[in-house]
Structure 1
């Protein structure tokens, strides 16, 4: 089957045909086509390889998409670093704080579709996917309008929270030029989740790859060659994101998604309030994670030598986020696998998918961590010409390596939460671990104990370790049969048809 032209059936990923079912999932036992109980090491490794192929079929293009889209900001900051320290600080603050805020809100609200579209697709309720996407478009566009005022008054907001006047003015000027990107986020994320649920990753990867190539060329042209500075950076970022949006729209409107897109429908305006609640739960969960790292940047801006601290920390965080895009690819893949399998009533398969994803993400995180430790005397010069910045990056590298390993596993666990629809609970976990423990510990170690940027990062790392540990325990103790039951109820709640079961037809 050509997955670029037709929706990929969840049965294609599973390698078997799901029988029809009809009764309430609350009374089922593991589906007949679920994986059998695993007994013995040989059986475990065989099933591990089978599930790895299914996971990486989704994860490989998803990783490329995450790398490509994150690299848009990454490339911009590299060019800004070769213009000057003020420009690098301004672009870093704008991307991390202002765009980072809107990115977290929009991606988080769009992530509600990962649960709904993924489970509906797994249950063969394909017709509802387009309706869900349109509802999300409406909600995210309205949200973008209100967030736009943060962009308009960005300079004042940054000064209010204690950033230096020089950096605030430069970042605020860039933010005004970045408003088109905000609306691109509102259009893009619902489309991305819509396509992702159908395993249409390859077309998204191609579009992202073309956008990245164009972005590199025009960033060089406008920022360095034509000397447009941070204005050029904003213009190219806006254009790159809108290129992605328009290309994906053309693909969807072309009819390549089959029954999942049947053009615009008035159903999109139904049950908007309930959809808003689910979107807000998703947004809070993800934003609390994104803002945690934004807070690290802000606290660095309060140090005595703010420009050096912000520049060095922005380099480290950007490397961490760049590596985390691999884990975010696994996040997308495991979210699809869990939601599809729960929607198809295959709880054991969903559980085993989680095991494979967590092990794979941990091993992947080790590779860049070791590479950074080996090359820590060399790589800082790639991002800045300033000797002080290079020295601080060198000193922060061991801490960066530890964070990369931990933050390779954490997004995968968040993907499991999204696929299972646990966003509200994880939001509470994030509040306690990050904001009750992590940030206060960071402030105490950074300022009270006079450990500087390293102290802030040490304290916040404690919060990350605690949050990851809680999610691991939660996943370990999950009743996957119950989660599959909840998935069917959720599909009915949002307009899908009940799943038909073979044994009920016979009865």
Structure 2
């Protein structure tokens, strides 16, 4: 008797396909190492390039907005900085983290040629992230009383409350923006995102200048431009998907999106916990620095360092996305060898870029500070922090990539526990000890937190090296075959109904 479709998938899509896959892997082994590296890098940069540029664009929109707000007044700037660095980063971490579950599901299904499921997963993620965004609304609606309750200055709290209301549409744009990026990345169709990012950045600068300066709309004009800038890529990506850009994976809306949500919710929660713990880490560094003596100079110097680090992090997050897609695609396709080769390649590529920047920042040190400030005291403080910034950039070139590998394999829950232990049980307590008790001040805080990141990187390297990737292939096949078998049953049911009508 012929095997059913689910069983054939577990066997590698049938014996013929298994033989074909063996032939493909033998052919891969006969290729020269240089050719294999070249082919893998083409696949890598097809995802990493657009992803990095998109992150630069999104970060650039925030920087442009902050620059224009800074020319309105110090209270507006303080309120904007408070909302964008604390509240928005909090929401961003949760929503981006939960959206990364889609990277696992879509990447593995696409590699297994389960194209019909990508659209279903996308719609399920829309539902989950929309509910999550609604649950975050009270933070943005009641910002002013919350900040006053925490002892923040009244004028800044009131201004932050006004600005946080403007950010509500931005938060909801993340629901569609993040998920569409993950969906398109899994298919290596995210070049459209790059085009939209270029257009968005240019239009946001123009409209901020037009509305804030020429039409004298001030803060309202800047925030209107920001909302437009955040929703334009979403509308463009939706148009691309709905009108034929993804014919294999988008077949229209389906009620199946409302079924079997709980497994997706669990994966989304573990993904959200994993990523938001990383994104909040620098925020805690700023908060701890605020309690130091001469905090104004310390925070100014640290904010410059974190601004530079933030730009570099866009590269790291781009490689995080790329590593997740490459590993998920190869696991879904059933090749543990190619998955391991993809991991080595992306880690080596990202580390090379990070090491180059590490050398550059050690060489330039405090001279970079004059791009952001005219204060000799602040520039000197930045110079003193430059070695820590350089080490942070070096670690960021490896650690996020390993997190991306975990996303590709669906191991977010494991990484979440690692993050809690290394960041919040090692890094922060050690930073407080070095900074406050032993008197190393801001250097001590940052050094302690870097040690936490270093320990986390070592643990993730150990986990990656010790992971049985052949077993991960089997687990991936089991995951995707479950959905394939369900699709088979639905198709059989529809055929049965047609036969009855006939």
TM range (shorter): 0.7 to 0.9
CA contact (8 A) 1:162 1:302 kept: no
Cα offset for 1:475? 0.7
Q: Show the counterpart of 2:253.
A: 264
Give the Cα separation in 1 of the matches to 2:301 and 2:160. Answer: 17
- SS of structure 1 residue aligned to 2:292: coil
Asked whether 1:327 is paired with 2:308, we answer no
Q: Show the counterpart of 2:423.
A: 434
- Provide, for residues 332-365 of structure 1, a one-character-per-residue CA deviation record: whole Å limited to 9, x for no partner: 1111111011001011000010001001101111
Q: Could you list the runs of 5+ residues in structure 2 that have no partner in the other structure?
A: 1-6, 489-502
Q: Show the counterpart of 2:458.
A: 469
- Provide, for residues 472-502 of structure 1, a one-character-per-residue CA deviation record: whole Å limited to 9, x for no partner: 1111111111000010111134456799xxx
- SS of structure 2 residue aligned to 1:125: coil
Q: Show the counterpart of 1:380.
A: 369
- SS of structure 1 residue aligned to 2:22: coil
Query: Normalising by the residue count of structure 1, what TM-score does the alignment of the two structures yield?
Result: 0.87
Give the Cα separation in 2 of the matches to 1:22 and 1:147. Answer: 40
Cα offset for 1:306? 4.2
Q: Show the counterpart of 1:109.
A: 98
Q: Show the counterpart of 1:130.
A: 119
Cα offset for 1:448? 1.8
CA contact (8 A) 1:311 1:389 kept: yes
Alignment partner for residue 445 of structure 1, among 427, 434, 449?
Answer: 434
Alignment partner for residue 86 of structure 2, among 92, 97, 117?
Answer: 97
Q: 1:98 to 1:360 in 2, by over 3 A?
A: same
Cα offset for 1:255? 1.6
Cα offset for 1:468? 0.8
CA contact (8 A) 1:24 1:485 kept: no
Give the Cα separation in 2 of the matches to 1:229 and 1:123. Answer: 52
Give the Cα separation in 2 of the matches to 1:68 and 1:244. Answer: 11
After TM superposition, the structure 1 = structure 2 runs for residues 210-359 of structure 1, keeping only pairs within 5 Å, are: 210-223=199-212, 230-359=219-348
CA contact (8 A) 1:78 1:383 kept: no
- Provide, for residues 266-303 of structure 1, a one-character-per-residue CA deviation record: whole Å limited to 9, x for no partner: 00100112221111111011111111112112222333
Q: 1:375 to 1:217 in 2, by over 3 A?
A: farther
CA contact (8 A) 1:118 1:419 kept: yes
Cα offset for 1:232? 4.2
CA contact (8 A) 2:431 2:449 kept: yes
Cα offset for 1:451? 2.4
Cα offset for 1:395? 2.6
Aligned pair count reads 479
CA contact (8 A) 1:79 1:224 kept: no
CA contact (8 A) 2:8 2:14 kept: no
Q: Show the counterpart of 1:369.
A: 358
Give the Cα separation in 1 of the matches to 2:295 and 2:144. Answer: 17
Q: Show the counterpart of 1:32.
A: 22
Give the Cα separation in 1 of the matches to 2:24 and 2:156. Answer: 56
Structure with larger Rg: 2
CA contact (8 A) 2:9 2:477 kept: no
**Which deviates further from its counterpart, 163-172 or 325-334?**
163-172
- SS of structure 1 residue aligned to 2:463: helix
Asked whether 1:393 is paired with 2:390, we answer no
Query: Normalising by the residue count of structure 2, what TM-score does the alignment of the two structures yield?
Result: 0.88
Cα offset for 1:191? 1.1
CA contact (8 A) 2:366 2:382 kept: no
Q: Could you list the runs of 5+ residues in structure 1 that have no partner in the other structure?
A: 1-19, 500-507
**Which deviates further from its counterpart, 28-37 or 120-129?**
28-37
Higher relative contact order (CA 8 A, sep 6+): 1
Cα offset for 1:157? 3.4
CA contact (8 A) 1:25 1:484 kept: no
CA contact (8 A) 2:140 2:165 kept: yes
Give the Cα separation in 1 of the matches to 2:218 and 2:301. Answer: 20
- Provide, for residues 27-80 of structure 1, a one-character-per-residue CA deviation record: whole Å limited to 9, x for no partner: 99994156459999x944443233222212222222212222222223333444
- SS of structure 2 residue aligned to 1:378: helix
Give the Cα separation in 1 of the matches to 2:238 and 2:433. Answer: 48
Q: 1:344 to 1:431 in 2, by over 3 A?
A: same
Cα offset for 1:393? 2.6
- The root-mean-square deviation of aligned C-alpha atoms, in Å, is 2.8
Cα offset for 1:158? 3.9
**Which deviates further from its counterpart, 308-317 or 113-122?**
308-317
- SS of structure 1 residue aligned to 2:253: coil
CA contact (8 A) 1:86 1:307 kept: no
Alignment partner for residue 146 of structure 1, among 111, 115, 135?
Answer: 135
After TM superposition, the structure 1 = structure 2 runs for residues 47-86 of structure 1, keeping only pairs within 5 Å, are: 47-81=36-70, 86=75
